[in-house]
Amino acid sequence: MASSQPKNVGILAMEIYFPPTCIQQEVLEAHDGASKGKYTIGLGQDCMAFCSEVEDVISMSMTAVTSLLEKYGVDPKQIGRLEVGSETVLDKSKSIKTFLMPIFEILILLLVNNQKHGNTDIEGVDSTNACYGGTAALFNCVNWVESSSWDGRYGLVVCTDSAVYAEGPARPTGGAAAVAMLIGPNAPIVFESKLRSSHMAHVYDFYKPDLASEYPVVDGKLSQTCYLMALDSCYKSFCHKYEKLEGKQFSVADADYFVFHSPYNKIFVNIFLETCSLYRRASRDFLYNDFLSGASSIDEAAKEKLAPFSSLTIDESYQSRDLEKASQQVAKPLYDAKAGQRVILFSYGSGLTATIFSLRLSEGQHPFSLSNIATIMNVSEKLKSRHEFPPEKFIEIMKLMEHRYGGKDFVTSKDCSLLAAGTYYLTEVDSKYRRFYAKKSNENGTIANGIEVGLYHDNAVESWISCPVNHMENNCVFHCLAQASSSFWRINSCLQSVRISHFAFLYVEQKNVVKEIMAV
């Protein structure tokens, strides 16, 4: 990649992974004795994903990253920055990012002419603040590519969480997934970096102070108020920046799509204003602010509907049901006509952190095109392929995960029967809290965990020496090498490597000194 001043920096590629395990919200409603529709209509959800004992944010991240690199044909050495956003804490010091590094190392400690092989020159660590961590990680990568520090390589962002709650009304608002995004120039999804406004404050609306538990402390009413306050502040600042940049007032008509973080309310489908009260409020704030500022997009009929509320204070506007209804009526026609290329996004993380930012869309060029991103992510089919668990089994798994949280010295069932080929999974946490992962074999039988050393002579395999997953360390590799006398070795390092089809070829002398190594 060239290192000239980058243009049209944004998202080149995306991949998503979520566990194959889920529970129907309607079934959970009945089991919990909740009123019919409380989880489905009230939350806008049909199903909730959750991690079984063999999956966590690390395994999901590894799967998402390797899948993205494989499907878009990206060389791991082309990655110069890797950022992870998550609020799921498995270690208070060691970042999730470091667990992903073996994907890029590929026998990094083997020396050739005193030089290391693989890619360890990758900047970035984790970002944490409730649901905002992924947004911060994304901004970090975009800012890096746009900066003088950029070295011409891609940035890679991973957003991942396993959201679980104690038994009670909050439990059905959980979920689990990992999203990987490749960042670089000439992207089909371009960041308008000068159109970005944030609101940061110190509040206790949602937080996780008990380090021995993954369950949060939640003040739902305060969180909703904080959300609306942050949205209002961000939008006003965004409008000011837009006017400064474009020389005209911003209104909702200047964008074609609005995508909002959904804290514990309905998820909007197609038209975010029609089904979700919080999003109706969000649009109400936008339209109401446009009305107060005299934006030209507000026609006379809309002004007539909104005029009775012009004297409301900001706090009063947050709570006014009548204003909400009036704004909903004004907003609906604007979102029935969805055509255009600008997307406005609002990200919120409790505590609190919030940002409104703008994206521009274009088709792009294969493989970095919108159509290819949609094809590769294949979200609908992935959702359909999940396996539904009964409430009793779901609760049993939640209790096991609660018991094991922060635990050590245990081995999982290693049951990967529901996982797709190429998916990473947790196998063990040893007495030193070290976590070990394996990769499910390809359907054609390719080994996908540990190291296998093949002894070659005249291009024929004479013998194989296997190295178990939890012994995959540099000294063990050399131990395997020392077990044979041939000068030609083939090492298939599939654990945590990027592609099963990639092999490392090593030429060794009698004293096991590496002369040459190359990935093919």
Give the residue with greater pLDDT, 41 vs 139.
139
User: How does DSSP assign 294-339, residue by residue?
Assistant: T-TTS-HHHHHHHGGGTT--HHHHHH-HHHHHHHHHHHHHHHHS--
Topology match between the domains 1-188+362-439 and 193-361: yes
pLDDT in tens, 197-208: 999 999 999 999
pLDDT tens readout for residues 368-397: 999 999 999 999 999 999 999 999 999 999
Q: What are phi and psi of 57, to 5 degrees?
A: -65, -30
Q: Could you give the strand order of the β-sheet that contains 342-349, starting from the edge strand earlier in sequence?
A: 126-127, 79-85, 154-163, 175-184, 10-17, 189-200, 353-361, 342-349, 257-260
CB atoms within 10 A of CB 56: 24
DSSP 239-301: HHHHHHHHSS---GGG-SEEEE--SSSPPP-SSHHHH-HHHHHHHHHHHHHHHHHT-TTS-HH
- pLDDT band of residue 263 (cuts 50, 70, 90) is low
Separation of alpha carbons 352 and 25, rounded Å: 29
pLDDT of residue 498: 28
Instruction: With a cut of 90, say whether residue 488 has pLDDT above it.
Output: no
pLDDT tens string 116-135 = 458 999 999 999 999 999 99
pLDDT at 250 > cutoff 70 = yes
Mean pLDDT score of the chain:
79
What percentage of the chain reaches a pLDDT higher than 90?
Answer: 58
The number of beta carbons lying within 10 Å of the beta carbon of residue 321 is 9
User: Binning pLDDT at 50, 70 and 90, where does residue 190 land?
Assistant: very high
Task: Classify domain 1-188+362-439 at the CATH topology level.
Answer: Peroxisomal Thiolase; Chain A, domain 1 (3.40.47)
Q: How far is CA 229 from CA 170, 200, 343, 355, 509, in A?
A: 23, 11, 21, 12, 68
Beta carbons within 8 Å of 426's beta carbon, 6+ residues apart: 53, 54, 55, 56, 58, 59, 412, 435, 436, 437
Average pLDDT, stretch 291-303? 61
Average confidence (pLDDT) over 63-79: 96
Q: Write down the pLDDT at residue 228.
A: 86
What's the CA gap between 512 and 347, in Å, rounded? 53
pLDDT of 180 higher than 90: yes
pLDDT the model gives residue 283: 52
Residue 221 to residue 265: CA distance in whole angstroms: 12
For the structural domain made of 193-361, what CATH number should be given?
3.40.47.10
Nearest in space to 344 (alpha carbons), one of 478, 251, 462:
251
The answer on whether 515 is annotated among ligand-binding residues is: no
Strands 368-369 and 387-388: unpaired
Query: What is the predicted pLDDT for the residue at 258?
Result: 87
What the block records as the tokens of 21 is: 């395990």
For 42, other C-beta atoms within 10 Å of its C-beta total: 17
Residue 174 backbone zone (phi > 0: left; psi -120 to 50: alpha; other: beta): beta
Catalytic residue IDs:
87, 131, 261
Given a cut of 50, is residue 508 above it in pLDDT? no
433 compared with 475, residue with greater pLDDT: 433
Mean pLDDT throughout 226-236? 91
Domains of the chain, by residue range, sit at: 1-188+362-439, 193-361, 451-519
What 3-state class would DSSP assign to 439?
A: strand
Report whether pLDDT(171) > 50.
yes
Question: Annotated binding residue at 223?
Answer: yes
Report which of residues 272 and 129 the model is more confident about: 129
Q: Which pLDDT belongs to residue 307?
A: 76
Q: What pLDDT score was predicted for residue 288?
A: 57
State the average pLDDT over residues 462-476. 36
Under DSSP, the state recorded for 131 is B
Q: Is the pLDDT of residue 210 over 80?
A: yes
Range with the lowest mean pLDDT among 210-219, 299-308, 311-320, 416-425? 311-320
The whole-angstrom distance between residue 466's C-alpha and the CA centroid of its chain comes to 34
Lowest mean pLDDT among 154-168, 236-250, 404-418, 443-457: 443-457
pTM of this prediction?
Answer: 0.75
Q: Say how far apart CA 12 and CA 153 lie, in whole Å.
A: 13
* pLDDT bracket for residue 400 (50, 70, 90): very high
The string of pLDDT tens digits covering residues 338-348 is 334 899 999 99
Q: Is the dihedral of CA 278, 284, 290, 296 positive or negative?
A: positive
pLDDT at 284 over 60: no
